[in-house]
Amino acid sequence: MLSARFSQLILEAGTDEAGRGCLAGPVTAAAIILPTDFSNSILNDSKQLSEKIREKLRPLIEEQAVSFAVTHLFPNEIDEINILNASMKGMQECILKLNPTPEFIIVDGNRNMNAKLGLKNNFGKQFTTEEIALLKSIPNQSIIKGDAKFLNIAAASVLAKTYRDEYMDKIHEEFPMYNWKKNKGYPTKEHREAIEKYGPCKYHRMSFRLLPEQLTLDL
């Protein structure tokens, strides 16, 4: 059974991301504040749940949340600031969208929320001085495998995963040869064979190794 919260504060937010290891598509972050009486015996790390269960949980989570937010960071921004910074920036953007503002944040992983604030990049959202100050002011704790330990991080992981999968299904219709409806942009054998045959498209992360070292692309 997952724990309700890490701190004793009522407005505790959990945050997580999905798609960090993909070759194509966005990295998607989510943050959520759950009510103090929230409980769900099925909710777990989204990677441990079937697609059917995730889709069933998503509306239940959204209906019961005090507040939630989801953000996509797209390949041009990922390529510019790198995937680790993009993952963190996505979670930071989600925190700024929450209303009310959380009193405490728990973050899945090993980096605290206020790491790498205010990156000067050409793509995506630019943080204002006030937004940076707000993010710095909220105490936070990173928790390794937090999505398997706390309900609010698990809920964020489900939102991030389902919203990202939905987006990948949409762009699959534009580039069906990569079969993103099935592989969601992850580096499967099928996906890499399609990249080798057709080359990369505008949704691929060009800073990633799209093919094994023994294969090259004519770009």
Band of residue 211 on the pLDDT scale cut at 50, 70, 90: very high
Q: Is 17 annotated as a binding residue?
A: yes
pLDDT of residue 209: 93
Q: What pLDDT digit, counting tens, does each position of 50-67 carry?
A: 999 999 999 999 999 999
The CA distance from 86 to 66, in Å, is: 26
pTM assigned to the model? 0.94
Q: What pLDDT digit, counting tens, does each position of 124-147 carry?
A: 999 999 999 999 999 999 999 999
Q: What is the mean pLDDT of residues 17-35?
A: 98
Q: Which domains does the chain have, with CATH numbers?
A: 12-167 (3.30.420.10)
Q: Is 16 annotated as a binding residue?
A: yes
Q: Does 214 or 29 have the greater pLDDT score?
A: 29
Q: Please return the burial class of 48, using the count of CB atoms within 10 Å of its CB with bins 0-12, 13-18 and 19+.
A: exposed
The CA distance from 172 to 151, in Å, is: 31
Q: Is 93 annotated as a binding residue?
A: no
Query: Range with the lowest mean pLDDT among 30-34, 72-76, 107-111, 183-187?
Result: 107-111
